[in-house]
Amino acid sequence: MIRKATLKDLDQIVMLENAIFKDNWTKQSFQAAMDMEDTLFLVAAEGMTVVGYALLYAAADEADITKVAVAPMQRRKGYGANLVMQLVVQGKTRGVHHYYLEVRDSNEPARAMYKRIGFEEVGTRKNYYDEPKEDAVIMKFEVGVKEC
């Protein structure tokens, strides 16, 4: 089930974050994001267990998807794609039409998933990631945009 993240989810989110990322966020960072008006913060849950999360920051008609994470044992089950698609669906109700994200150049499974959803690779950020140093691939998705 995909649902809005709550304060009760924070400990599980931080545990996932620490298990997946080396440049991880703190509990306070996630709570601050949760409290911001222009964010969408969703979790994928199996019962009471958080198996993934995704975070979006919106500004006008654009949004940055800054976090997408799924527990290693729960990958390839559709959680990541469902989280991102729900960010887009809920973002659209807020007037967001342009979605951006960065993904490690070497993260082929994530890049393939984003492409299946409809994201396109539009650029590169050199040496964007640390530990290990690596480029980021910039990806973009547009929804419901009409030219005047």
pLDDT given at position 146: 52
Residue 145: which pLDDT band, with cuts at 50, 70 and 90?
low
β-pairing, 62-70 vs 98-104, is parallel
In whole numbers, what is the pLDDT of the chain averaged over residues?
A: 93
The angle, 0 to 180 degrees and rounded to 10, between the axes of the packed helices 108-117 and 79-92 is 40
Q: Which CATH number is 2-142's, of 2.170.130.10, 3.40.190.10, 3.40.630.30, 3.40.50.150? A: 3.40.630.30
Catalytic residue among 114, 120, 142, 147: 114
Give me the residue spans of the domains in the chain: 2-142
| Each residue's pLDDT tens digit, 32-71 | 999 999 999 999 999 999 999 999 999 999 999 999 999 9
Closest Cα to residue 34, out of 61, 14, 20, 60?
14
Decide: 140 and 120 in contact? Cβ < 8 Å: yes
Catalytic residue among 53, 99, 100, 102: 102
Mean pLDDT computed over 25-29: 93
DSSP 105: T
Q: Is 102 a catalytic residue?
A: yes
